[in-house]
Amino acid sequence: MDGLQRGSVAIVGVAESDLGAVASEMSSIDLMAQGIHRALADCGLGLRDVDGLLCATAQSRTSGLALAEYLGISPAFIDTTILGGSSFMFHVSHAQAALQLGLCKVAVIAYGSTQRTIGRRHASVREYNPYETPFRPFLPSTAYALAASRHMHQFGTTREQLAAVAVAARDWALLNPVAWEKKPLTAAEVLSARMISYPFTVRDCCLVTDGGGAVIMTTPERARSLKKPPVYVLGCGQAITHANISSMPDLTVTGALRSGRAAYAMAGLGPTDIDVVELYDAFTINTILFLEDLGFCQKGEGGSLVADGRIAPKGDLPVNTNGGGLSYCHPGMYGLFLLIEATRQLRQECGARQVADCETAIAHGNGGVLSSQSTVILGTRATL
């Protein structure tokens, strides 16, 4: 993005809050605070160092006020942009702009959700759309299913190829001690699971969990003296194409095409330069669409790319190494966890699931019903 400079800011601390099913009566703000406490410990900064606050949750109308009050801080810079699950990638570019301009010195991006504990209906308000709601789409699943139907029609993508995405995610999740899912999954089990919105069974759909976390960003100068190796923001890009699925221009091409191009241009990198790929997999079709739109294969070839285990732990293209929204954690707005995993991979902290020789990572966020797309490219000091 014009105005943002490659490597001008770094991610210095990351942490998840409690995940899965959290203690009863925990709030989304409790989880944000827990994530911030852990992420500050991760980098060795304190709450009093924080003068930039960015957050989003579906459970608090003015989450910035709630969180600042809870933390007892009055941040110089605050941003509560909320565009669905990709909100946190938007926050990265906003935090980068604020840090570059000196509007703040240490920025925290936070998320929390207790949607599993309180029920999805209570966690986010269902908006009535007079042009869609009468037809009873089961949202968001139905919107993504419509996109999948179109991909299958135009490119011959199969349900078995979609299932391969879920199986690869599960194989990665089995290597992640904090992943929600603990048992192996076969393609046959994906295909025979309870149908939700054709072609998706429940195994093609993301989990419904609680969870939250935080990401700490600062300037490269400040980053150097902190506990962990800095992870630099090399590129950011964003694109919004619609809000409702009936207004999406082409259901087989997402805004990731534009957000990816912008991020690659800023980073001076292309898809073949990326070592680890973290994509917002709310549904199995997402992984296929974003692999295509971010240039890891041609449009229409995503199904064959994922089919033979290439994105699974022993494959040649490591995708969604934490187990993804499909098998690790999905509290409703999952994007923050992609940034956390990409950072940990670049720091070589991932144990059994660590990708070898990992210097560059892409974290791609998706929001709404393929509506908002935001791409962040991260790199180690060696990539500067």
Partner 1 sequence: MERISKSPLVIYQAHLDKGELAYQWSLDAQKAVFYPRVICPFTGSARLEWRVSAGLGTVYATTVVHPAREGAPYNVALIDCDEGFRLMSRVEDLAPEAIKIGMRVKFRVHRPSGDEPPCPVFVPAGSP
Binding site for partner 1 (CB under 8 A): 130-132, 134-138, 142, 145-150, 153, 194-199, 244-247, 251
Cβ 190 to partner 1, closest distance in Å?
Answer: 15
Closer to partner 1 by CB, 3 or 198: give it: 198
Contact status, residue 175 vs residue 322, Cβ threshold 8 Å: no
Q: Which is nearer to partner 1, 74 or 192 (CB)?
A: 192
CB proximity list for 322: less than 8 A, separation 6 or greater: 172, 173, 176, 179, 278, 328, 329, 337, 340, 341, 353
Q: 132 vs 273, which CB is nearer to partner 1?
A: 132
Compute the least distance from the CB of residue 154 to partner 1, in Å: 9
Q: Choose between 148 and 358: whose C-beta lies nearer to partner 1.
A: 148
85 SS3 class: coil
Helix, coil or strand: residue 137: coil
3-state helix, strand, coil in the chain (%, to 5): 40, 20, 40
Give the residue with the Cβ less far from partner 1, 144 or 328. Answer: 144
Taking alpha carbons only, the member of 95, 35, 30, 85 closest to residue 56 is 85
Q: What angle do CA 126, 131, 134 make, to 5 degrees?
A: 65
CB proximity list for 206: less than 8 A, separation 6 or greater: 281, 282, 283, 324, 325, 326, 330, 334
Q: Write down the H helix ranges in 72-119.
A: 87-101, 115-118
| Residue closer to partner 1, measured from CB, 136 or 183 | 136
d(CA 19, CA 144): 25
Half-sphere exposure of 174 (CA within 13 A, CB side): 11
Considering only CA atoms, which of 221, 16, 183 is closest in space to residue 113?
Answer: 16
Shortest distance in whole angstroms from residue 197 CB to partner 1: 5
Nearer Cβ to partner 1, position 156 or 177?
156
Give the Cβ contact number of residue 127 at 10 Å: 10
Instruction: Enumerate residues 6+ apart whose C-beta is below 8 A from 10.
Output: 217, 218, 219, 220, 223, 230, 231, 232, 233
User: Which CB sits closer to partner 1, 232 or 283?
Assistant: 283
Nearest to 315 by CA among 183, 186, 171, 159: 171
